[in-house]
Structures are given as structure tokens and as C-alpha cells.
Homo-oligomer: A and B are copies of this chain.
């Protein structure tokens, strides 16, 4: 059974620390690159998604360098590349569910940016659509975030909540990049 690699929003605009604030997991990009290399070595399907923000102040807005993929994806030979304007890759500019179904793909490994937004939302929806989703937690990262009450959760706290919810809710199996690459051999 073929498992696809779904890389979400691995874009340069997320390097803008002044816009996003403190991040976690500096190893994310290296882990993303290792997953990409493994999938390409086996010639298994690779899907790249980019966020085409419609917010006027977002570094991810199309038409500027922040919309481009990070250098770790320079070697990518993707089977599918598409944009989206919302968090879930299943509600993007192409019918990802249909693309997977046409190819008989029922499982995918998910990594990218941000852990708790586009990655988690896509994992929740993928699990609900019946996919066998593996969430490569250490190949994602996020930023500190202020809640409606004005208090802040750190990127690490948010990452832990994502992992707990995806695991406890049965949306996805949460694994490390090392576990995924070792199991795949």
C-alpha cells in the first residue's frame, strides 16, 4: 500500500520572526528534508501545498518571496503541487480527496507549518475522511499564540496540545521523523 507524503506550507514567509513571534523546534526543516528525500528515493507520491494568504499583511501573500517554498524543498520532484487559501489542504484549489482516491491512496504522512493550524486542521479532516494519517510532529513547528483572554500559550504548549488531541481523538498516529523513516525500511 502506497503512503503519500503531504508537506504543508513549507514557505519562506514563516522565517519572518518579527511577524510571527517565537517559534519552536528548530529541527523541523531538517526533518522535513529527510522525509522528502526518503519518499523520493522510493519514488512514492509527494504532495506539496502552499498557503496563498488573502490577508494584506501576511508574509505568505502570493507575489512576494515569502510565498516561495523554503530551500529544503529545492530538490523536490512533487507529484502534485497546489495552493490553498484556508487551513485544510482538503479545502484547497484542487480536490485532494479525489486525487488520493483516484490513485488508491488511503494513507499519508503529514508534515510542515504550522503544527496547530494548517497541519492539525488537515490531519483532523483527513482522519474524518477515513485516511490513515501519520503526523510527523518533529517535522512541524509553530509560534507562541495569544488566546481570547489575552494570555499566551507557547509554541511548545500548542504543539503538545496538537499531539494530544490528534492522538487521543484518533485523528492521526503521532510519530517522530526517525520512527517514520525506520518503520518504512
Q: Which residues of A contact B (CB under 8 A)?
A: 86-88, 91, 116-117, 120-121, 124-125, 127-129, 137, 145-149, 151, 153, 157-158, 160-161, 163-165, 167-169, 171, 174
Asked if B165 and A148 sit within 8 Å, CB to CB, the answer is: no
Total copies of this chain within the assembly: 2
Asked if A87 and B124 sit within 8 Å, CB to CB, the answer is: yes
From B91, B128, B146, B161, give the contact of A161 (CB < 8 A): B161
Q: Name the distance in Å between A59's Cβ and chain B's nearest Cβ.
A: 16
Q: Name the distance in Å between A170's Cβ and chain B's nearest Cβ.
A: 9
Asked if B164 and A158 sit within 8 Å, CB to CB, the answer is: yes
From B88, B147, B163, give the contact of A160 (CB < 8 A): B147
Residues of B within 8 A of A171 (CB): 87
Tell me the complex Cα distance, A117–B166, Å. Answer: 9
From B86, B87, B147, give the contact of A164 (CB < 8 A): B147
Asked if A153 and B160 sit within 8 Å, CB to CB, the answer is: yes
Residues of B within 8 A of A120 (CB): 165
Question: Which among A88, A128, A158 has the highest number of chain B CB atoms within 10 Å?
Answer: A128
Residues of B within 8 A of A167 (CB): 146-148
Residues of B within 8 A of A160 (CB): 147, 151, 153
* Chain B residue at minimal CB-CB distance from A174: B148
Tell me the complex Cα distance, A55–B147, Å. Answer: 34
Residues of B within 8 A of A125 (CB): 88, 91, 121, 124-125
